[in-house]
Structure 1
Amino acid sequence: MTDLDDLRARIERLEGVTAHHTDLLDDLVNGVIGPRPEPTPSPPAPQPSRAIDPEDLAAWVQRHVTSVIARPIRGELRWCPRWWEHAEALFRFEALHRAWTELGGEPGTALSVWIRDHLDPCLRELLSPTGPFADCDLTERFGMRGDHLPLSTLHTVPYRS
Structure 2
Amino acid sequence: MTADLMDPWGQGRYALHPPAAPAIPQNSTAQANNASSPLFASVEVFVNTYLSRVVCRRLGQGTAMWCPEWWRHPEAVVRFDGLWRAFEYFVVDTETGVSTWWLHHADPHLRAILDPDFGPFALCDPEDGHARHPLEPLPVRPAPEGTWENPLYRITDDDSGRG
| TM-score of the aligned structures, taking structure 2 as reference length | 0.50
Q: Give the alignment of 1:1-161 within 5 angstroms.
A: 56-76=42-62, 77-128=64-115, 129-137=117-125, 140-142=132-134
Q: Distance in 1 between matches of 2:49 and 2:68?
A: 15
Greater C-alpha Rg? 1
CA deviation after TM superposition for structure 1 residue 139, in Å? 5.5
CA deviation after TM superposition for structure 1 residue 70, in Å? 1.1
CA deviation after TM superposition for structure 1 residue 98, in Å? 1.1
Whose RCO is larger (CA < 8 A, sep 6+)?
1
Q: Distance in 1 between matches of 2:102 and 2:121?
A: 21
Aligned AA (1:140): R
How many residue pairs get aligned? The number is 88
Q: Distance in 2 between matches of 1:84 and 1:135?
A: 15
More helix by share: 1
> How far does the alpha carbon of each residue in 1:76-106 deviate from its partner, in whole angstroms, 9 at most, with x for none?
2210000000000000001101111110121
Aligned equivalent of 1:5: none
Aligned equivalent of 2:154: none
Please identify runs of 4+ aligned residues in structure 1 that moved more than 3 A: none
CA RMSD of aligned residues (A): 1.8
Aligned AA (2:121): F
Q: Distance in 2 between matches of 1:141 and 1:58?
A: 23
| TM-score of the aligned structures, taking structure 1 as reference length | 0.51
Aligned AA (1:80): C
Aligned AA (1:110): G
Change (3 A) 1:136 1:109: same
CA deviation after TM superposition for structure 1 residue 120, in Å? 0.8
CA deviation after TM superposition for structure 1 residue 56, in Å? 2.2
